[in-house]
């Protein structure tokens, strides 16, 4: 079947229309018409949590939820950006000079603009001209579905239209990751940017975060559904928890004489248990177990062994809850409720943790039943997204 070029996802059509309207309203006059539009997806990670910065495996899929950037180049060397997201921190409109040799951009307030500034600063083409742009997104902020990577990758894809780079997809993802490290202060692994760039419709993507090799895993079975449940408990990961976990993993790897926990076995970990301290030992036990589970899960998906995949998801959740301690009562409640439903293969927290979403693999026919049951059992207010694997970032025709 021939691939259609840039067929807008269902979600990107209303997003694009809203962004174009906002662009006309905000940047009226002759330059009011947006001439360039780019879209990049959020993601859900099916399994492989907190493994990416340990050189392990992850198995995400790109979502139909995404972020769109529309705009036009300007002649005055000034960059003006407006976000339509009500949840973004104020102000919702920023203006700054395009970076030049000797006068780079630097992070500041508002925080949402740092993701955009970081990508502009680390863009591999250029020089970047002045431009006006509007951001619109249907990814819930702070829900663990990677709204930040979608914004970074959409920005990069937008810039590729203004001043092309060499089209190296891996380098594109790495530049977006660097933007998040240096401008948003978040030492994330490579998964989120990679899947937003490389996602393919109808597939999950097994990413080896050490070699950066990827394997497409088909996920097109019509009898299967992926249900994302947002706990609507927000997390901010730049807090101390994420860097602390990262440090504990590095400490464990060093004690085992390994470059990263990817190279460590459970037997080696057990042998070093007394030297590590109980907490660091548990952190490493999660990571080593999760890397193995993710490789197994990719194989199970390939074999259409959904029962096995579901069991691995549940093991993953329990390990994140007990050994890595990044779950929370709300996420545990959602997983427990999902697992009570007939036709559910497995469920787990997804994303960094401390709130955000769960991901559930289930029979398509059980989706409505599951939503109803989870809604009934959950003490908070959940939002549901029944989703299919989407393609990666693209230019939208205007």
Tokens 């950006």: give the residue: 81
Catalytic status, residue 89 = no
Measured CA to CA in angstroms, residue 89 lies from 5, 44, 83, 114 at distances of 35, 24, 10, 11
- 293 by Cβ neighbours in 10 Å (0-12 / 13-18 / 19+) ranks as buried
Measured CA to CA in angstroms, residue 180 lies from 27, 63, 340 at distances of 28, 20, 38
Question: What does the alpha-carbon distance between residue 303 and residue 92 come to, in Å, rounded to a whole number?
Answer: 47
* 206-43-289-244 Cα dihedral, nearest 10 degrees: 130
Reply yes or no: is the peptide bond before residue 333 cis, omega within 30 of 0. Answer: no
Question: What does the alpha-carbon distance between residue 108 and residue 79 come to, in Å, rounded to a whole number?
Answer: 15
CA angle 75, 183, 231 (to 5 degrees): 115
Question: What does the alpha-carbon distance between residue 4 and residue 1 come to, in Å, rounded to a whole number?
Answer: 9
Q: What's 132's DSSP letter?
A: E
For the chain, how big is the Rg over CA atoms in Å?
21
Q: Which of 192, 221, 332, 342 is catalytic?
A: 192
Nearest alpha carbon to residue 16 among 197, 154, 145:
154
Phi and psi torsions of 354, nearest 5°: 55, 45
* 61-383-385-41 Cα dihedral, nearest 10 degrees: -50
Nearest alpha carbon to residue 40 among 74, 63, 73, 71:
63
Q: Give 319-335 as a DSSP string.
A: HHHHTS----HHHHHHH
Question: What does the alpha-carbon distance between residue 27 and residue 97 come to, in Å, rounded to a whole number?
Answer: 17
Q: Give the residue numbers annotated as catalytic, written as ranges.
A: 192
């Amino acid at each position: 079947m021939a691939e259609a070029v840039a067929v807008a996802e269902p979600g990107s059509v209303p997003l694009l229309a809203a962004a174009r309207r906002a662009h006309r309203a905000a940047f009226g006059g002759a330059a009011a018409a947006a001439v360039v539009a780019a879209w990049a997806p959020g993601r859900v990670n099916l399994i492989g949590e907190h493994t990416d910065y340990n050189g392990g495996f992850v198995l995400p899929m790109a979502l139909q939820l995404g972020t769109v950037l529309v705009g036009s180049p300007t002649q005055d060397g000034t960059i003006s950006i407006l976000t339509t997201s009500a949840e973004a921190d104020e102000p919702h409109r920023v203006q700054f000079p395009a970076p030049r040799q000797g006068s780079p951009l630097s992070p500041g307030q508002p925080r949402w603009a740092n993701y955009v500034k970081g990508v502009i600063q680390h863009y591999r083409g250029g020089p970047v001209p002045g431009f006006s742009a509007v951001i619109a997104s249907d990814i819930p902020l702070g829900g663990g579905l990677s709204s930040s990577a979608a914004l970074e990758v959409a920005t990069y894809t937008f810039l590729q239209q203004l001043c092309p780079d060499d089209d190296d997809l891996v380098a594109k993802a790495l530049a977006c990751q660097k933007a998040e490290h240096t401008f948003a202060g978040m030492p994330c692994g490579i998964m989120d940017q990679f899947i937003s760039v490389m996602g393919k419709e109808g597939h999950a993507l097994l990413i080896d975060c050490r070699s950066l090799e990827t394997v497409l895993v088909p996920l097109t079975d019509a009898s299967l559904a992926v249900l994302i449940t947002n706990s609507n408990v927000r997390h901010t990961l730049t807090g101390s928890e994420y860097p602390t976990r990262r440090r504990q993993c590095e400490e464990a790897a060093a004690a085992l004489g390994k470059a990263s926990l990817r190279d460590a076995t459970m037997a080696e970990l057990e042998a070093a248990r007394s030297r590590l301290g109980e907490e660091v030992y548990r952190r490493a036990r999660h990571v080593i177990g999760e890397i193995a589970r993710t490789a197994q899960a990719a194989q199970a998906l390939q074999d259409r062994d959904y029962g096995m995949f579901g069991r691995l998801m549940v093991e993953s959740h329990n390990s994140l809850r007990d050994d890595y301690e990044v779950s929370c009562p709300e996420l545990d409640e959602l997983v427990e409720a999902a697992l009570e439903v007939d036709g559910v293969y497995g469920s787990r927290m997804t994303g960094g943790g401390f709130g955000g979403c769960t991901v559930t693999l289930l029979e398509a026919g059980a989706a409505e039943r599951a939503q109803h049951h989870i809604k009934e059992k959950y003490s908070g207010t959940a939002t549901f997204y029944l989703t299919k694997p989407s393609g990666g970032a693209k230019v939208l025709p205007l």
